Amino acid sequence: MNTILVLAVFTVLSGQGLQVSAEVDRDRVAVGEQITYTVRAILDGDAPVRTMLPPFTGFVVVGRAERKDVAGDGAVLVLELRLRADRIGEWMVGPVQVVQGVASVLSPEIQVAVVEPGDPRRVSSLSPRVLRVLNDAPPPARGDVAVTLLTSADSVTVGEQVDLVTAAWFPRELLSRLRRPPELRPPTVEGVYNAVQPSSAGVGASRLVSGVWYDLYVAHQVIFPLTPGALEIPGAGLAFSVPAGRQYFSDEKAYRLSSEPSRLIVTAPPIPPAGAPGGPTARRLTFGYQLSPEPATAGEPIAVDLVLSGVGNVALWPVPTIEWPEGARGYADRSVDAVALTRGVLGGEKRFRYSVLADSAGSLALPTVRYPYYDPDRAEWLEAVARAVVLPIQPALAVRDRRSPLPILLTAPGPVAGLGPLSNGLLLTMLIAPPFILLLLKLGRSAWRARPQVLSVPPSDRLGHLVRRFVPEDDRWRVDRVTDGLRDAGLDEQTSTAVASLYVDTTTSRFQKERDEPSPDDEGRVADRLVKRLPRRLLIMAWITTGALTLPGVLAAQASSGDSLYRDRRYGAAAQAYLREAAIDPEEPRLWYNAGAAAYAAGNDAQAAAAWVVAHRLAPRSSEISNAWRAMVLRSPDLGREGRAAPLTPTEFWVLAVLAWIGAWILVARGRGRAPMIPFTLAFLCAIAGFGLQSWYQRPLGVVSHLATVRDAPHGLASEIARVDELMVVRILGERPGWRLVELRSGIRGWTPASAMVETGRLDSDS
């Protein structure tokens, strides 16, 4: 049981008292071999813990190790007992009693079969291929420890499998005294392809040499040489420590041994016959078409798989060369590897996927495809042949979309606070703005008290602004031209004439030295009467220029290249265009929504869901985005749980926090007693909500695009621990090239191919 599973068990069982589990590494061994019986106890609290061992019938305790692992808010006690099989039979191992405080729990009993050495019923963890290599291992001198490096062959062809076996010989009596397993270090070989092996070093075999039983500690590697020549393999290493005395806590003496290096001759395959293409090194390859059972239609993509299977390194098999017939077009898709290890020999199948389009109805003959390869067993070039297949092509149906395309957004979706990240600017505003505003208030209060009276804008000035807004400068000195300009702006003839006369008289009189001017009171009364007769819209337009009302990037969105592609029904290209623009402006919800709409129309639901997660969080109150979001959530409940959004965005919370903070300081400046505590508290809560929501949104999520497996390691040979279905949502915890470490809603953690999911906020849509 690995650490991840232990943590998962602890999470489930925490708070349920003392819990104990047990396991053995092997359930069938020969006399003299050892097993490891592991007991794990999930502790309840900090009370002291005691363990009491039972009599192990059929076994002898040769080693004991005990430790505590921290898991969450508690601890897990791990007790490892090394037991040597002593008598033939079926024996029950356990139980171990674990006592903590007043609680006492027994570990499960496990049945183990002990057989005679060499008994065919004994199950070895090594493959027959490795056991054959071990048969050639030279025995050590009597009573000595030795380490040997072995290869499955002395000479191989480029691309052929080679097994490297590192064997450490331990006298059984000495191995039983070790307090910890020996450390076996296999060699590191350069210039080869290393195939990942699911097993690790351990006791793999036993030998009787000159009356002394030896246990062989074995490590196995599989390599594939890539270039011809002499391949130098460095020696393997072995490190172990032997107790100086029989007591458990006596001192230990460390030993280090090394094996002799090895040499492997790698030869290139012979040159293929004249004109024949080359290929990989493999054995018993078979090749054939695999087609979808759905009827093929002209103009629609046809899924065509070419499946290559046999013995060899699947990763080194290249893509075949195909000449598609006239009237058809073939587009290569990704290839899928399925690796299998059969009796120690690596092989499997490789699936080459294509999308084929037939131009017209009738019969489409998929061509014969030949795949050359070199067989080292037969020492000759062979061909795996995929025979031609004839497909009936039905006439194209009337153009009808399987799903109605959604309307895209051409402008920003409402008053969304997509102001971009504030971070340092927000903090700077919160620090500087309050004292600055306080200073302004003090200065303003002093200036207000010093003013003798409140000045208002005279009505004549407002009439002057109106004329200057609608009449050109050269025409403002003539009453008829001013009248025409005001009439064009929407005033009636009588009001236009009165305003024009008053404006020209008051303007020209300023430059006359002697004039019979009316009294200011009379002029003001006339202007007041005219202002009351003017439409309100003209006064507003006179005071505000056109440029002052422009809100670039908020009231209108710039034209997007994806819009034209979407209108042309090129949905896949439109989604890519929107995603590229979102890379430049990731805070624009319109681009994310449009990318999701285009992906949805193209049939890529996972990409649509991932894009709408971002759009919904950037614009949670947009009706268009919310409608699309709710439709997708109906198909994926995971999306509704993991991708949910708050009513406000983090930016809006931060803006509220800044406003409340400034308002609190204004109340402080006015001496309002305890009143500022309310906006201070509101500012603090809004800031915490904004940063908490931002942290929640920054968690990377993945939307599964197709059925995939979750494995316990990032490679194809790792054990499968779970499966994920289309549109499931997983949390992404880490990444390796081509793999993602994910956590499912059930708490299971494992590795899944990166091609099986679309990541939210990630601007590649290859999957």
The per-residue pLDDT for range 290-309, each reduced to its tens digit, is 987 777 888 788 889 999 99
Position 428 scores a pLDDT of 58
Question: Mean pLDDT across the stretch 74-91?
Answer: 85
The fraction of the chain above a pLDDT of 70, given in percent, is 76
Token digits of residue 378: 């037969």
Interatomic CA distance for residues 147 and 238, integer angstroms = 7
- CATH number listed for the domain at residues 561-645+699-759: 2.30.30.40
| Least confident span in 423-427, 489-493, 586-590 | 423-427
Q: Between 411 and 585, name the one with better pLDDT.
A: 585
Position 499 scores a pLDDT of 75
Domain 128-267 and domain 284-394, same fold? Reply is yes
Position 400 scores a pLDDT of 46
| Least confident span in 203-212, 386-395, 473-482 | 473-482
Asked if residue 203 has pLDDT above 50, the reply is yes
- Residue 733 gets the label, from left (phi > 0), alpha (psi -120 to 50) or beta, of alpha
Confidence band (pLDDT; 50, 70, 90) for 230? Answer: very high
| Least confident span in 513-527, 581-595, 718-732 | 513-527
Q: Is 417 exposed, middle or buried (0-12, 13-18, 19+ CB in 10 A)?
A: middle
Asked if residue 13 has pLDDT above 50, the reply is no
E strand or H helix at 658: helix 650-669
Fold (topology level) of 128-267: Immunoglobulin-like (2.60.40)
Token digits of residue 739: 């793999």
What class does CATH assign to 284-394? mainly beta
Position 360 scores a pLDDT of 84
What does each C-alpha distance from 88 to 30, 122, 369 come to in angstroms? 8, 12, 58
Confidence band (pLDDT; 50, 70, 90) for 311? Answer: very high
Distance of CA 752 to the CA centre of its chain: 10
Q: CA torsion angle for 418, 424, 430, 435 (degrees, to 10)?
A: -130
Confidence band (pLDDT; 50, 70, 90) for 454? Answer: very low
Interatomic CA distance for residues 631 and 624, integer angstroms = 11
Asked if residue 403 has pLDDT above 60, the reply is yes
Interatomic CA distance for residues 309 and 372, integer angstroms = 13
Averaged pLDDT of the chain = 78
| Least confident span in 141-145, 471-475, 612-616, 682-686 | 471-475
Position 234 scores a pLDDT of 92
pLDDT one-digit tens code per residue, 244-300: 766 556 678 889 999 999 999 999 999 888 777 888 999 999 999 998 777 788 878
Question: Mean pLDDT across the stretch 214-229?
Answer: 88
Asked if residue 453 has pLDDT above 50, the reply is no
Question: Mean pLDDT across the stretch 678-695?
Answer: 84
In terms of CATH architecture, what is 3-115? Sandwich (2.60)
Confidence band (pLDDT; 50, 70, 90) for 367? Answer: very high
Question: Mean pLDDT across the stretch 36-47?
Answer: 86
Position 458 scores a pLDDT of 59
Confidence band (pLDDT; 50, 70, 90) for 696? Answer: confident
Position 261 scores a pLDDT of 92
Position 394 scores a pLDDT of 85
Residues 6+ apart with CB under 8 A from 475: 481, 482, 485
Position 544 scores a pLDDT of 43
| Least confident span in 82-96, 403-417, 422-436, 637-651 | 422-436
Asked if residue 577 has pLDDT above 70, the reply is yes
- The domain limits of the chain are 3-115, 128-267, 284-394, 459-549, 561-645+699-759
pLDDT one-digit tens code per residue, 179-195: 778 888 889 888 898 87
Confidence band (pLDDT; 50, 70, 90) for 225? Answer: very high
Interatomic CA distance for residues 353 and 334, integer angstroms = 6
Position 554 scores a pLDDT of 39
Question: Edge to edge, what strands does the sheet with 103-106 contain?
Answer: 49-52, 97-100, 103-106
Q: Between 198 and 579, name the one with better pLDDT.
A: 579
Position 559 scores a pLDDT of 56
| CA R_g for the chain | 41
Position 459 scores a pLDDT of 60
Position 589 scores a pLDDT of 86
Question: Mean pLDDT across the stretch 551-565?
Answer: 57
3-state secondary structure 606-618: HHHHHHHHHHHHH
Asked if residue 556 has pLDDT above 70, the reply is no
Interatomic CA distance for residues 679 and 543, integer angstroms = 35
